[in-house]
Amino acid sequence: MFGYWDALYFLYAFLIGLIISYLLMKWAEKVSMGTRRTGDGTKIYISGEDQDKVIPHFEHLSGYFTGRHVMWGLIRGVHRMFLVFRREHTGLLTDYVAYLLITIAIVLGALVIGG
Amino acid sequence: MKILYVTVGLIAIYLYVSFASLLWEGLDRKLVARMQRRMGPPILQPFYDFLKLVSKESIIPRDANKFFEIAPILALAASIALLAYTPLGFEPILATKGDVIVFIYLLTLIAFVRVIGAVSSGSPYAQIGAQREIIMLASREVPMMLGLFTILWRLSKLGVEKPFSVGTFYQYNIWEIGTPLTIVGTFVLLMVFLLWLASEIEVGYFNIPEAETEVAEGPMAEYSGRHLALFKLSSALKEFASASLVVAIFFPWGVSGYLGLSGVGAVILDLVFHTLKAFAVLFVSMSIFRAITGRLRITQAVSMFWSRILPMSLIGVVLLVIDVLGVIA
């Protein structure tokens, strides 16, 4: 899609952006009241809540809520797929052709998404 | 020669858009305040805010890692690079074959950098905000890109050289095609784009990642001082650039042609006119939307994107496709 020079110009534009924002940051560092590297946080933990465990109003989010459920969902989906295959399996040639097509579809899907 | 043109042009545009976008923030706050029968802050308040934030002390939490401090610089750098690909009443400075794709890539990159900064802050509020930001990002890009590429495809049927470039919008205007199906389809896609714009700048319904009263500004929870100032400037630039895309797609008309101007005068006049159009689009998509809607829950927002806005986009696409294929004469 892009020519060689277009890619280089993109890098150049990004570099200009980096330089401008770095200079802005340095200038701000000079004129500001400095930096304080301490404390548990600025706005939230003033009241002394335990940041590692409980977030107020988000108690249900303790642990790896999303990750765990997505993982179990995937495992359950794959498991159900195999259950369906086993139930419908008749040993005929058409079954094996169908498996082959499904496998090709999945591999192609992965290639399309990945490539 | 081109290097010099790019450098000077980009810096000039950066200065102009910083001014215009911060000015818009002030106008927006004043307008929304008047809609709610408040006095509102002075129009120059965002400039005061920026200078005040720059001069304040930056507090870095103990648990934050290095990315926490780098993220604001990267976000602003990505915003400035975005301006090189933003249509501003004329073709972008770095107009190439595929600048529409670079534009979307950079818009997404800014959101990613915000998320990286938020995750690096070590605050659970920022983590929740970052999760929401990513969920919104994955939902909002689909209808927008579907509509954008369909319009580019429709225009490419008129015989343009570079179908994936922003310059296409200035060669041909989608309304000029003029068939009833195209007009209705484009109007539907305009609605999709206005909703996308509202979610891109996270106002009204879509103010979910930064929900101030709920998760204490989400990704920005731990940011303060100059780091926050850079993020604020970066979001202001992003707002203006996103609105510029909508203006370029749907309202690309310039005024310099009618007045018979050319050269620098034409560029400046078109830039000012484009800024006014961007303000008008932002007024609909940001000020009015912000004043009349409240925040949705994240699940509601996601289902709205996938079950309302995506079908809306599909309807617009199907109308344009029917028009091209000539199924209905």
DSSP H helices in chain B:
2-35, 45-55, 66-83, 99-120, 124-156, 167-171, 180-200, 212-215, 225-250, 256-259, 264-282, 289-292, 298-304, 310-325
* Mean pLDDT score, B222-250: 90
Radius of gyration of chain B (CA): 20
Joined tokens for residue B63: 């648990």
ipTM of the complex: 0.79
Contacts of B62 in chain A (CB under 8 A): 37-40
Which amino acid is residue B181, in one-letter code? Answer: L
Residue from the list A3, A16, A51 with its beta carbon closest to the beta carbon of B7: A16
Q: Residue B60's closest chain A neighbor by CA?
A: A37
Instruction: Return the percentage of chain A with pLDDT > 70, whole number.
Output: 64
Q: What is the pLDDT of residues A74-91, one digit of tens each?
A: 778 778 877 887 787 776
User: Which residue from B231, B232, B246, B328 is spatially nearest to B284, judged by alpha carbons?
Assistant: B246
User: What is the rounded distance in angstroms from the CA atom of residue B294 to the CA atom of residue B178?
Assistant: 37
User: Which residue from B127, B83, B123, B88 is spatially nearest to B106, judged by alpha carbons?
Assistant: B83
Per-residue confidence (pLDDT) for residue A45, from 0 to 100: 44
pLDDT at B205 over 70: yes
Q: What is the pLDDT of residues B69-127, one digit of tens each?
A: 889 999 999 999 999 888 888 888 887 777 888 888 899 899 889 888 887 776 777 77
Residue from the list A2, A28, A44 with its beta carbon closest to the beta carbon of B226: A28
User: What is the rounded distance in angstroms from the CA atom of residue B104 to the CA atom of residue B149?
Assistant: 12
What is the nearest CA distance from B239 to chain A, expressed in angstroms? 17
Mean pLDDT check: name the lowest of A59-73, A84-98, B242-256.
Answer: A59-73
Using the Cβ of A73 and the Cβ atoms of chain B, whether some distance falls under 8 Å is answered with no
Q: Residue A4's closest chain B neighbor by CA?
A: B96
Which amino acid is residue B96, in one-letter code? Answer: T
Joined tokens for residue B239: 């707002």
Joined tokens for residue B211: 């929900």
Radius of gyration of chain A (CA): 27
Using the Cβ of B94 and the Cβ atoms of chain A, whether some distance falls under 8 Å is answered with yes
* DSSP of B256-318: HHHHT--THHHHHHHHHHHHHHHHHHHIIIIIIHHHH--PPPHHHHHHHIIIIIHHHHHHHHH
Residue A56 in contact with residue A49, Cβ under 8 Å? yes
**Chain A interface disruption, residue of B222, B224, B228, most A CBs within 10 A:** B222
Using the Cβ of B163 and the Cβ atoms of chain A, whether some distance falls under 8 Å is answered with no
pTM comes to: 0.76
The verdict on a CB contact (< 8 Å) between A17 and B80 is: yes
Which amino acid is residue A48, in one-letter code? Answer: G
Contacts of B102 in chain A (CB under 8 A): 10
Max CA pair span of chain A: 79
Joined tokens for residue A79: 């498991």
